[in-house]
C-alpha cells in the first residue's frame, strides 16, 4: 500500500499531468480515460471490462431514452434496463455473500460463500451511472452524444474511489471544454496537498491509535480508553474521507473541472440534521433527489414521511457495507432525524449552542461505535465500556500512555475539524503580497514534504472508504 501510494503520487500522477497538458484539447479526455483505466487495472484489471460494458449500456440506454422522447413506455423500458443491470452488478459483488450468509444462518443450510473481491469504487460508480440515466429520463440533462465524453465522465479516477459523487450535470460542459488555467492549477495543487496532509498526517496517525485500541493491542479496555479510542476513530474517518475528497476536488481543478463539495466541517454541527447537511454532502443529496423525493418526501402525510426517512436511512446504511452494523447505523440516524423533526427540534432551539453541540457530538460518537465494528457483540461491549456499565476500570496505564503520546495529534485534529484554520488561511491568501505568498508556499511545501516522509516511513496507510 505504501509503495503504491508513493508510485501513484510521484511517478504515475506527474507523468499523467505532463502528458495531459502537452496534448491538444481534443485529446485531453483520451489521456484521462487512459489514466483512469491504468488506475483501475492497478487495483483489479479484470473489472475494467465490467466498467466498460456498463458504460456502453448507460450510453446506449441514454440515447434510446432521448430517441423515444414522448413515448413514455419505451423510455421507462430503457430506464429500467439500465437501472436493473447497474443494481444487479452492485448487489452481486457487494451483497451476495451477505445474503448467502444470512440465508445459511436462518435455514441452517451450508451454501458456500462466493468470496468475490469488491471492484474498486463500485458503489460510487453505480450511483454516478444511475444519476445520469435518471436525469436523462427526467429531462433535467440532455443525453451525452459522444461516447468518448461519457466514458471520460464514468471513469473519472480522481473521485471514483471515495467520492464526491459527481453528477453528469456538474461536469457536462467541462467534458467538452476544460477550464484550464494557472489559477485553477494553483488552486487544485493547494487543495490536493491539503487533502494529502489530512489523510497522511492526521488520519493515519489517529488511525494507528484506534487500530491498537479496537484490536485489543493495548490490552484491557477502560472507560477512559474507550472514549479516547472512539474520538480517534471519529477523527480518522473524517480526515481520511474528507482528505480523499479534497484530493479528488483538487485534481479536478488541475484538470480544468469542478466537483461538488463533499464536507463542510460536520463536527461543528448543533444537531444531527445539520450534521448530515455537512457530512458526505453528495451522498445525502443523491438519496434525497433519487429516493426520498420520488417516494413522496414529506408531501404525502406524516406516516409516509416517516416511512420514507426510514427507507432512505436503511439504504444509506446498506450502501456503506454488506453487514448488519451498517444497516443498524443507518437506522440509528434515521430514528434520530425523525425525533428531531417531530419532538426535539423546538427543545434544541431553546438550548445554548454549546449544549446543542455536545448533544450532536455525543450522538455522532455513539454512531461511530456502531459503524466501526461489524460484530454487533463488540458494538455492545464497547458501548457498555463507554458508559462504564460492565465493571471495567475507569482508567488504566494504557489510557494514560495513549493520552501522553497522542494528545497533541488529537488536539490538532479537533482544531482542524473547525473552520478556524481555514479562515486564517483565507485571510492570508486574500492579500497577495510577496512575503505572504512565500510564507503560504512554504506551508504547502512543508505539508507535502512531511506527507511524503510519512508515506515512505509508515506502513499504516489504510483508505477506509476503498471498500465502499
Segments forming the whole domain that contains residue 234: 184-467
Each residue of 284-305: pLDDT tens digit?
999 999 999 999 988 888 899 9
pLDDT at 3: 44
Number of domains in the chain: 2
Last residue of a domain, one of 179, 194, 228: 179
Q: Same domain, yes or no, for 164 and 193?
A: no
Same domain, 145 and 193: no
Question: Same domain for 118 and 202?
Answer: no
Answer with the one of 179, 204, 220 that is the final residue of a domain: 179
Residues 6+ apart with CB under 8 A from 290: 130, 131, 134
Do 153 and 237 lie in one domain? The reply is no
Most confident range, picked from 12-16, 100-104, 230-234, 452-456 = 230-234
Q: Which pLDDT score, from 0 to 100, does residue 179 have? A: 83
- One domain, residues 60 and 25: yes
* C-alpha cell at position 78: 430503457
Give catalytic status of residue 320 as yes or no. yes
Whether the predicted pLDDT of 1 surpasses 60: no
Q: Is there a single domain that holds both residue 173 and residue 200?
A: no
**pLDDT of res. 399:** 84
Question: Which of 327-341, 378-392, 450-464 has the lowest average pLDDT?
Answer: 450-464
**Average pLDDT across the chain, whole number:** 89
160 in the same domain as 43 = yes
Of 147, 179, 211, which residue is a domain's last? 179
Angle formed at CA 144 by CA 142 and CA 146, multiple of 5 degrees: 150
pLDDT tens for 273-285 read: 999 999 999 999 9
Q: What is the pLDDT of residue 138?
A: 94
Prediction pTM value: 0.92
384 and 241 in a common domain: yes
Residues 125 and 189 in one domain: no
pLDDT at 119: 80
Task: Out of 280, 320, 357, 388, pick the active-site residue.
Answer: 320
Q: Are residues 324 and 225 in the same domain?
A: yes
**Same domain flag for 288 and 393:** yes
Could you read off the pLDDT of 237-277 as tens digits, one per residue?
Answer: 999 999 999 999 999 999 999 999 999 999 999 999 999 99
Amino acid at each position: 500500500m505504501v509503495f503504491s501510494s508513493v508510485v501513484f503520487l510521484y511517478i504515475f500522477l506527474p507523468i499523467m499531468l505532463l502528458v495531459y497538458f502537452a496534448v491538444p484539447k481534443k485529446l485531453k479526455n483520451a489521456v484521462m480515460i487512459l489514466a483512469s483505466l491504468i488506475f483501475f487495472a492497478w487495483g483489479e484489471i479484470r473489472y475494467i471490462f465490467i466498467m466498460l460494458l456498463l458504460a456502453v449500456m448507460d450510453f446506449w440506454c441514454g440515447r434510446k431514452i432521448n430517441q423515444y422522447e414522448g413515448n413514455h413506455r419505451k423510455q421507462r423500458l430503457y430506464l429500467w434496463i439500465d437501472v436493473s443491470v447497474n443494481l444487479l452488478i452492485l448487489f452481486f459483488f457487494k451483497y451476495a455473500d451477505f445474503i448467502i450468509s444470512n440465508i445459511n444462518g436462518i435455514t441452517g443450510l451450508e451454501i458456500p460463500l462466493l468470496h468475490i473481491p469488491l471492484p474498486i469504487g463500485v458503489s460510487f460508480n453505480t450511483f454516478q451511472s444511475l444519476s445520469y440515466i435518471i436525469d436523462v429520463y427526467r429531462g433535467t440533462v440532455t443525453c451525452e452524444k459522444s461516447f468518448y465524453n461519457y466514458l471520460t465522465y464514468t471513469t473519472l479516477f480522481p473521485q471514483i474511489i471515495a467520492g464526491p459523487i459527481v453528477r453528469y450535470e456538474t461536469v457536462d460542459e467541462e467534458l467538452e471544454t476544460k477550464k484550464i488555467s494557472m489559477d485553477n492549477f494553483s488552486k487544485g495543487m493547494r487543495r490536493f496537498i491539503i487533502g494529502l496532509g489530512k489523510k497522511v498526517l492526521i488520519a493515519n496517525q489517529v488511525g494507528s491509535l484506534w487500530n491498537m485500541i479496537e484490536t485489543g493491542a493495548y490490552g484491557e479496555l477502560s472507560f477512559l480508553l474507550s472514549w479516547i479510542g472512539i474520538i480517534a476513530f471519529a477523527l480518522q474517518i473524517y480526515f481520511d474521507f474528507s482528505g480523499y475528497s479534497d484530493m479528488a476536488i483538487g485534481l479536478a481543478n488541475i484538470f480544468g473541472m469542478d466537483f461538488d463539495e463533499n464536507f463542510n466541517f460536520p463536527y461543528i454541527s448543533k444537531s444531527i440534521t445539520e450534521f448530515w447537511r455537512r457530512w458526505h454532502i453528495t451522498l445525502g443529496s443523491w438519496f434525497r433527489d433519487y429516493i426520498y423525493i420520488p417516494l413522496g418526501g414529506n408531501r404525502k402525510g406524516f406516516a409516509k414521511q416517516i416511512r420514507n426517512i426510514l427507507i432512505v436511512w436503511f439504504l444509506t446504511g446498506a450502501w456503506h457495507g454488506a453487514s448488519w452494523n451498517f444497516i443498524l447505523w443507518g437506522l440509528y440516524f434515521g430514528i434520530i432525524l425523525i425525533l428531531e423533526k417531530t419532538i426535539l427540534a423546538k427543545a434544541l432551539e431553546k438550548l445554548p449552542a454549546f449544549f446543542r453541540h455536545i448533544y450532536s457530538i455525543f450522538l455522532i460518537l455513539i454512531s461511530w461505535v456502531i459503524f466501526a465494528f461489524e460484530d454487533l457483540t463488540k458494538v455492545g461491549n464497547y458501548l457498555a465500556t463507554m458508559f462504564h456499565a460492565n465493571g471495567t476500570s475507569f482508567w488504566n496505564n494504557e489510557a494514560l500512555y495513549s493520552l501522553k503520546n497522542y494528545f497533541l495529534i488529537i488536539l490538532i485534529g479537533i482544531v482542524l475539524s473547525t473552520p478556524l484554520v481555514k479562515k486564517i488561511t483565507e485571510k492570508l491568501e486574500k492579500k497577495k503580497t510577496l512575503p505572504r505568498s512565500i510564507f503560504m508556499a512554504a506551508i504547502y511545501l512543508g505539508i507535502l514534504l512531511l506527507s511524503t516522509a510519512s508515506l515512505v516511513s509508515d506502513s499504516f496507510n489504510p483508505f477506509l472508504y476503498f471498500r465502499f
